[in-house]
Amino acid sequence: MDKGIEMAMMTRWDAFHDLRGAQDRMSQMNQMLAQALGQDAPQSGAGATSTPAWAPAVDISERKDAYVVTVELPGVKVDDLEIAFQDGLLTIQGERHPPQGSPDEQFHVLERRYGMFRRSITLPLHVMADAIEASTEDGVLQVVVPKAEEVKPKRIEVHAVPTRAPVTAGPQASAGT
């Protein structure tokens, strides 16, 4: 090669490079903060060995006749949900699967959580477990837990037993004849 000729080198610009770098730094800071607080830090980024568990957002409200649990589950199929109620504990668990990319598609940012999830909510024992209903619409699960009729204390009336006159031993014998 001639020393007088300079080679022009082209580099491909990656619009998401800076964004990925910033996300990796934020993830490291979150892990350090969690460790400092004594919590388990979720792993993320290229070095993650497993998908972290996640917990969907839950709202719990009370009506006169029922407790209503509303859970945000966009992207979770009904077949991937399991709901159980035992000893006052309502458990909602399932899995949200990651998107299936095609060979010509490359993900640059994955902020949504995927994998297994589980939420357990303690409810009062005075509910009708056999009447619990669950429905889903637009990625929102609603579980209605009907309240049992409250057991009202029963007032027991006390009846007075009438007192009887003392019983005598029969007619008295007359003293004279």
33 assigned to some structural domain: no
Query: How buried is 85 (Cβ within 10 angstroms: 0-12 exposed, 13-18 middle, 19+ buried)?
Result: middle
Give pLDDT tens digits for 126-143: 899 999 999 999 999 999
pLDDT 10s digits, 144-173:
999 988 755 678 888 888 887 776 666 665
- What single-letter DSSP state applies at residue 15? T
- Which residue range forms the structural domain that includes residue 112? 51-100+107-150
Indicate which CATH number applies to the domain containing 116: 2.60.40.790
Closest C-alpha among 141, 51, 127, 53 to residue 92: 141
Residue 95 located in a structural domain: yes
Task: Tell me the average pLDDT across 52-66.
Answer: 87
Is 162 domain-assigned? no
Count the domains in the chain: 1
Query: pTM for the whole thing?
Result: 0.57
Sign of the dihedral through C-alpha 120, 139, 59, 129? negative
**CA-closest candidate to residue 52, choices 17, 21, 84, 98:** 98
Between 33 and 69, the higher pLDDT residue: 69
